Structure 1
Amino acid sequence: MGSAPSSSMPNFEARIRTKDGKRFRISYHDLVDHILLLRQVIAQPELTQEGPTLDHFIDDYCNRMARQDMKSKQQQLKLPLETEWIWHVHRLHPLSYHNDCTKQLPSGKLVDKKIRQVLQNSKRKHDAKISFSSINKNFVFVPSIDLRKAVIRQRDFLEKFQNHYLYSFDLKKMDRSHFVHFVQNYVSFMKLAIKKEMIVPTFDIDLIWHTHMRYPSQYQTASIALCGFILDHDDAIESNTLTK
């Protein structure tokens, strides 16, 4: 269940069109990249276990954000898996992520995902001996959510994923119509959203939702077009997510 080169994967898109003519798309490679990340995280339990190792990974992520070392494609290609995972969890809180980036970073802009990293580099390793002594203390990045708790809450989602057929599915065999159906259900879910009211997705919908939130600017634009506002995601209630 490891990574596979993107060239060996089928790639097709599910296109979304709103009533006012706006168009968006989610690609199958986006979903594959997400699934491969989840598989790798499951294979490394320390990524969701509370303790100094997890704290170190969170500190690394925050320091990279403060130094603006995650903006370019080249910088994102060099991210270790552990940092990619922490970044992923932060993006699962789209309103907090937006505010943290726009209010704390010197650029005042979102840090967007620009590559499908897991597909391109499956053997990334974190340097446990990395030193932060050279960091300019004038630049800090402090997420408005408790990232440690947010990461640990993802255990429930990962457990559900392990019981889902896509956990062990040969991703090269996905049928286009099946993927499009996934996305269509997600879009229907988005259209039902009412501001400040909670709706509980099925696991399949939540998987696509997580995939979409990995691309913050795209997600925000599509969410506003489909819902009229940026639909936030509360993983604190993810244990209520339906399994089917």
Structure 2
Amino acid sequence: MSDVLSKSFPNFDVKIQKQDGTTFTISYHDFVHHILLLRQVIKHPEMTQEGDILEKFIKQYCEKMARQQMKFKHQQLKLSWQIDWIWHVHRLHPLAYYDDCCKQLVDGEPVDQKVQTFPTNYNNEYDTTTSNSSTNSHVNFVPSIDLVQAVLRQRDFLNKFKKHIFYTCNLERMNRSLFVKLVQKYVLFMKLAQQNDIIVPTFNIDLIWHTHLRYPMHYRACSIAVCGFVLDHNDSIEASVLTDAFQKTADRWKKAYNSSIIEDVEKTTVIPSRDTSFTHTVFASIFNDSFVGIESGFESNGGDVGDSSGGNGDGSNGDGGGTSNCGGGGVSSCGGGGASSCGGEYNECGGGCGGD
């Protein structure tokens, strides 16, 4: 992993532990990388609009994938943020992405995320490492999804993100225990998934979900462990279907965890922290009826190492917006009033999921 983010942002890992001891890790640096990318895309609306610029970077992305120019760490370190954005959107469709890589790449293996570096060459409009397509017509990578339309559908998610505290907050001062709870609630959400059924997350859950999807192989393994299948994510379900599915998800959540899936935690996202270098490891069972607790350990250069958190797994301390379809399909936008109808400033839905 790159040290670029570690120089300015604290890092802590949340480790999701199975009963057999197997663990899956989601780090705060993964989350920061994702948030910084979203902020950058919002500053450049041409990357979410139909036109030559978007088409150009989609073409470059496909050429790089076909020529195996994104597979290794040193190659990913050189990616422009525009290519990273197109790659990100493709990875938001885990079943399609996996199949596209396995069926079309020379080695038959998915290209996985190897670094946590956010590209700094923001003004580089063209990626000069991509060869002229006229001399490489024999190389081909054609995603099974329409990447232009997939990018355009992300505008709804980005508009909701602009209303969220993570759009403007100081990521160097993140409340550690809140990040733990966000990941915990994301796992609780995944545990509700059933094949051939639609479940809809809140926006905070969706932010963690999108972060996790940036690591395709890790996501695939974790999803199989938690759900028993690969939970797909899509964003094409009609709003009317989405709204009804969210209410059903909220009801299922209430029955399973005796709490509301909607909680207002954004106001507690950022708190002062005296240390900027530490590791926070959290272990939580994913197969018990609830989380049995959290064991916290820290490594620090001194000062206040922060708080250690305990939890009973009711998922009451995280919220956001999104959707999931556990049988293919996905999610679109939703509007409307209160939490139960997927509306409101923070509790809007976005994203999607499904099972294979």
Query: By how many angstroms is 1:20 displaced?
Result: 3.8
How far apart in 2 are the matches of 1:5 and 1:227? 31
Pair 1:203 & 2:203 matched = yes
Greater relative CO (CA pairs within 8 A, separation 6+): 1
How far has the Cα of 1:128 moved from its partner?
A: 6.9
8 Å CA contact 1:81, 1:126 repeated in 2 = no
Q: Aligned partners of 1:112 and 1:28: how far apart in 2?
A: 18
Give the equivalent residue in structure 2 for 1:177.
177
**Which residue in the other structure is 2:73 paired with?**
73
Displacement, 1:21?
3.0
CA distance in 2, matches of 1:62, 1:69: 10
Deviations 1:213-240 (A, max 9, x none): 0000000000000000000001221314
Partner of 2:333: 239
CA, structure 1 residues 70+54, in 2 after alignment: closer, same or farther (shift >3 Å)? Answer: same
Q: What is the CA deviation profile of residues 179-238 of structure 1, one whole-angstrom value per residue up to 9, with x for unaligned ones?
A: 000000000000000012110100000000000000000000000000000000012213
Residue aligning to 1:127 = 126
> Structure 1 residues 135, 68: CA separation in 2 closer, same or farther (over 3 Å shift)?
farther
| Counterparts of 1:232 and 1:142, CA distance in 2 | 20
Instruction: Name the CA distance, whole Å, in 2 between partners of 1:146 and 1:165.
Output: 31
Question: CA separation in 2, counterparts of 1:34 and 1:208?
Answer: 9
What is the CA-CA distance between 1:93 and the residue it aligns to? 0.1
Measure how far apart 1:52 and its partner are: 1.5
Determine whether 1:148 maps to 2:148.
Answer: yes
Which sits farther off after the overlay, 142-151 or 234-243? Answer: 234-243
Indicate how the Cα distance of structure 1 residues 20 and 44 shifts in structure 2: closer, same or farther if over 3 A, else same.
same
- 1: distance between equivalents of 2:235 and 2:67? 28
| Cα distance in 2 between the residues matched to 1:26 and 1:126 | 31
Gaps of 5+ in 2: 237-330, 336-341, 348-356
How many residues get paired? 239
**Is the partner of 1:117 in helix, strand or coil?**
coil
Give the structure 2 partner of residue 12 of structure 1.
12
Name the aligned partner's letter for residue 120 of structure 2. S
Alpha-carbon distance in structure 2 between the residues aligned to 1:186 and 1:133:
41
Q: Structure 1 CA distance, aligned partners of 2:84 and 2:135? A: 20
Larger gyration radius, structure 1 or structure 2: 2
Tell me how far apart the structure 1 counterparts of residues 218 and 70 of structure 2 sit (CA, whole Å): 18
Counterpart code for 1:93: H
Distance (whole Å) between structure 2 residues aligned to residue 200 and residue 150 of structure 1: 19
- RMSD between aligned alpha carbons? 1.7
Higher helix proportion? 1
Residue matched to 2:48: 48
d(CA) in 2 for partners of 1:152, 1:135: 30
SS at match of 1:32: helix
Distance in structure 2 (CA, Å) of the matches to 1:173 and 1:142: 41
Structure 1 residues without counterparts, runs of 5 or longer? none
Whether the 8 Å contact between 1:91 and 1:97 is mirrored in structure 2 is yes
User: 1:50 Cα shift?
Assistant: 0.6
Deviation at 1:131, TM superposition (A): 5.5
Question: What SS does structure 2 have at the residue aligned with 1:14?
Answer: strand
Partner SS state of residue 10, structure 2: coil
Secondary structure of the 2:15 match is strand
Between the aligned partners of 2:72 and 2:134, the Cα distance in structure 1 is: 21
Could you tell me how far apart the structure 2 residues matched to 1:185 and 1:226 are? Answer: 13
In 1, Cα distance between the equivalents of 2:179 and 2:5? 19
Determine if contact 1:200/1:240 at 8 Å carries over to the other structure: no
Counterparts of 2:61 and 2:233, CA distance in 1: 21
Q: Which amino acid aligns with 1:12?
A: F
Distance 1:18 1:238, change over 3 A: farther
Partner SS for 2:220: helix
Deviation at 1:172, TM superposition (A): 0.6
AA of the residue aligned to 2:332: E
TM-score (norm 1): 0.93
Which deviates further from its counterpart, 32-41 or 131-140?
131-140
Deviations 1:75-129 (A, max 9, x none): 11111111110000000000000000000001000100100121xx323423178
Aligned to 1:188: 188
Quick one: which amino acid aligns to residue 126 of structure 2? D
Cα contact 2:93–2:232 (8 A) shared by 1: yes
CA contact (8 A) 2:5 2:29 kept: no
Secondary structure of the residue that 1:235 maps to in structure 2?
coil
Task: Output the TM-score relative to the length of structure 2.
Answer: 0.65
State the one-letter code of the partner of 1:126: E
